[in-house]
Chain A
Amino acid sequence: MAILEIKHVSKFFGGLAANSDVSFEVEEGAIMGLIGPNGAGKTTLFNCITGYYPPSKGEIFFKGRRMNGLEPDRVCRLGMVRTWQKVRPLAKLSVVDNVMVGALARTSSLRIARERAMAQLEVVHLAHRAEALAGGLPIGERKKLEVARALATEPQLLLLDEVMGGLNPAESEEIIQLILDIKGRGLTQMVIEHDMKAIMRISDRIVVLNSGEKLTEGSPQEVVTNPDVISAYLGESHA
């Protein structure tokens, strides 16, 4: 069953189309990879899905419910949460307080929120940094914090925007394991990633965007052998 349906979504900024007529579905429990050259409109699509701006055209359905025009906080409480490409820690709060903010979306008790937050910190191997200030974490730990905080809101669909960007290979490997762990718990994920090797490993299906349009969709194997995809990426590296 599809948990998320994107139907003919377009987003215009002035006369510029950041997304045009994008359609695909995300199966429950699967990992959907979203790739494409810089400026392909991946983050714009995330912003449309999570309510940061309404799509100019088209519709978005989550668990069969039409999401167009819902505010991000509603989207989150309905079970869909995103992380940010440029990490956004709540700098002056401690690591555990950051995650608690996420957990408080589901409970009003600080005690329960704290327990759940600590549990999520264990999941991302950040429990030992619980009392540190979020603003002082190195990039690798900030990325983990983003994931823990998003998980704390108890989503059914997790949208990860380049969680491996700027990480060294060891850190990336940790994140890959984390994503697979999360999948093991039955969560659906949609992942934007630049690291092709990583995305091939984790994705069940991949959607390729190019200049705002959907170029193709398929299994990792289909996508990587698709000549259009190859030329889109080569075009980028030659430019």
Chain B
Amino acid sequence: MPKTLLKAVSGAVVLGALLALPRYVESPYALHMMILLFLSVSQGQSWNILGGYAGQHSVGHAAYFGVGAYTTMMLMHTWQIAPWFGVWFGMALVVVVALAIGSICFRLRGPYFVLASIAVAEILRLSAINLTTLTNGAEGILATDLPAFRIGGRVVTEFLTKVPFYYIGLVLALLTLAITYWVQHSKLGYFLQAIREDQDAAHSLGISISRYKNIALVISAVLTSLAGSFYGIYVGFVDPPTVLGLDVSVQIMLICIIGGMGTLWGPVLGALVLVPLSEALRSNLITEALVQVGLVSAESRVGLFLKENLAHAHVLLYGILVVLVILFMPEGLMGFVRKLASRRKREA
């Protein structure tokens, strides 16, 4: 089958290019962008399993992201436990948190589920602010001195550049992609989609609703917590708003919605669109581009204003994108691509 072959070859080429990239690209900024991209892909893919496949639109995924990030950082900061050990504690804790949340939220449907998921995340955020002895409260935890990573006494990396983070991020993104692929091609995926499409019908066909929702939640939560741990050690700093805030939940969800929920490549597409766009805003590339083109003069009031404020308003872009996607592409970019493909097929 040439089509499968084509897919395999192009997959191998992309993977090879990604593996080789740090050898040829030395710019820390480019690597940083790639790391953010990997992080977004894994966040979006994790949410996808629960939100996209099982149709449970959690607006509280910051809870899992934050618990992962905080556990790893606290263990490293307070007890000097290296993150590659700490991350397991984070995942274990997240399983407990997820099952607790599941037992509360899955009794509720639709909007009530959404509300409950937000409330739980908010409780965790407020707790992180108030439990100052444990979490250092609103000040957050700063821990940038990563111990060297050794295997059998041999130092593998000392984390002096962004390259080791690049590879960790790549592995994380590939892992979430692989797990989503497995979910899609298994009984689990069929059952989750059945629950998404019609919970009562699924129930009548022998599917235990609470069991499968909880399985989806635990997979989704554990992967999100891994992404959170990775974020923590990469940035070296966590505080309540950046890892537990409502914005975080919305961003995680958005990657998936823009790309296309319940599809394997949707979150990848979503991350490919969102990360460069929001980075361009954050780093004032857009203002500079406007100045370059001559639309805005750098010294004019508008230019100065944009330069000063646009960087802070990348979330505005999220808002605009959500509204546009919901109104004009409710199936996300993947839906759009599919529509184009089927139109081409019909014309051919």
Question: Footprint of B on A, CB under 8 Å?
Answer: 50, 52, 71-73, 76-77, 81-82, 84, 88-93, 97, 100-102, 104-105, 108, 110, 113, 149-150, 153
Quick check: is B198 within 8 A (CB to CB) of the other chain? Answer: yes
Pairs across A and B, CB under 8 Å, 25 listed: A71-B203, A72-B204, A73-B205, A73-B207, A76-B206, A81-B204, A81-B205, A81-B206, A84-B201, A84-B204, A90-B193, A90-B198, A91-B198, A92-B193, A92-B262, A97-B190, A101-B191, A101-B194, A101-B205, A105-B207, A110-B186, A110-B190, A113-B187, A113-B190, A149-B205
Minimum C-beta distance from B311 to chain A (A): 39
Evaluate whether A100 and B190 lie within 8 angstroms (CB atoms) in the complex, with A82-B204, A110-B185 already known. Answer: yes
A50 and B207 contacting across the interface, CB-CB below 8 Å? no
> Between A and B, how many residue pairs show CB distances below 8 Å?
74
A50 to B206, CA, bound (A): 11
- Asked if B201 and A88 sit within 8 Å, CB to CB, the answer is yes
User: What CA separation (Å) do A171 and B156 show in the bound complex?
Assistant: 70
CB 8 Å contact bits of B186-215 with A (1 = contact, 0 = none): 110011011001101111111111000000
Give every chain B residue within 8 A of A93 (Cβ-Cβ): 193-194, 197
Closest CB in chain B relative to A150 CB, distance in Å: 8
Chain B residue contacts of A149, Cβ below 8 A: 205
Beta-carbon contact of A102 and B197 below 8 Å: no
Is the beta-carbon distance between B185 and A88 smaller than 8 angstroms?
Answer: no
Min Cβ gap B255→A in Å is 20
Residues of B within 8 A of A (CB): 185-187, 190-191, 193-194, 197-198, 200-209, 262
* Chain A residues in 8 Å Cβ range of B206: 73, 76-77, 81, 102, 105, 153
With a cutoff of 8 Å between Cβ atoms, the chain A residues found around residue B194 in the complex are 90, 93, 101
The residue in chain A whose Cβ has the minimal distance to the Cβ of B204 is A72
A residues less than 8 Å from B205 (CB atoms): 73, 76, 81, 101-102, 105, 149-150, 153
Q: How near does chain A come to B193, taking the closest CB pair, in angstroms?
A: 6
Q: How far apart sit A73 and B199, CA to CA, in the bound complex (Å)?
A: 11
In this complex, what residue of A is CB-closest to B203? A72
Residue in B190, B200, B208 whose Cβ sees the most chain A Cβ within 10 Å = B190
A143: min CB distance to chain B, Å: 14
Complex CA gap A135/B194 in Å reads 13
* One of A52, A73, A88, A104 near B198 (C-beta < 8 A): A88
